[in-house]
Amino acid sequence: MSAWSGILSGPGWSTTRRSEANNQPTSFGSVLWFELNDGLTEKRLYIDILTALNSPAPDTAAPRLQAMVMRHLSARGTRLMILDELQRVTELRPREQRAILNALKYLSNQLSMSLAGFGSGEAKALIKSDPHLEERFDKNRRGALTDRARAGERDRSLDFGV
């Protein structure tokens, strides 16, 4: 099991934390937080990761993009990747879902990187559909944040300690 992982859901949670997480050094490495986009493919996943890292994202084959992502994440010392809107993977065909989930497992294994996700109940079901991926996630449910809670969350720093 990774140092910190989970699926959190509920309006406001991801927006509150995303801006705080990226480029925020932690006691165990850096954090990368990005939103999964519509039209997701394995290639698009790698391009989105490179874009979130402010790295060039050329239009090339998925294996080459994967190697680039691995180099950039490794050089940055990324130990936690947070995926927002994880339920978007459920909108894909089963074969495409497997490709995305396998890509995430591969990155996690090769880089000893923790995974976390924000999404709906569909995201939780998706993760549970793969026993090897489910081991990497703890499921948590968060309610919607009120304006007062949102302000309090912004005032707290991220604590992803091991």
In this prediction the pTM is 0.72
CATH assignment at residue 35: 3.40.50.300
Residuewise pLDDT in 10s, the chain (162 residues): 333 344 444 444 444 454 445 545 555 678 999 999 988 999 999 999 999 999 999 989 999 999 999 999 999 999 999 999 999 999 999 999 999 999 999 999 999 998 888 888 888 888 888 887 777 665 555 555 455 554 444 433 333 333
pLDDT score, position 118: 85
Residue 71 inside a domain? The answer is yes
The predicted pLDDT at position 8 comes to: 46
Q: Does residue 2 belong to any structural domain of this protein? A: no
**Residue 162, in any domain of the structure:** no
Instruction: Give the count of domains, the chain.
Output: 1
Residue 1 lies in a domain: no
DSSP string, the chain: --SS--EE-STTHHHHHHHHHTT--BTTBEEEEEEPPSS--HHHHHHHHHHHTT----S--HHHHHHHHHHHHHHHTEEEEEEESGGGGGGS-HHHHHHHHHHHHHHHHHHT-EEEEE--HHHHHHHHT-HHHHTT--B----PPPHHHHHHHHHSPP----
The parent domain of residue 79 ranges over: 7-154
**160 inside domain:** no
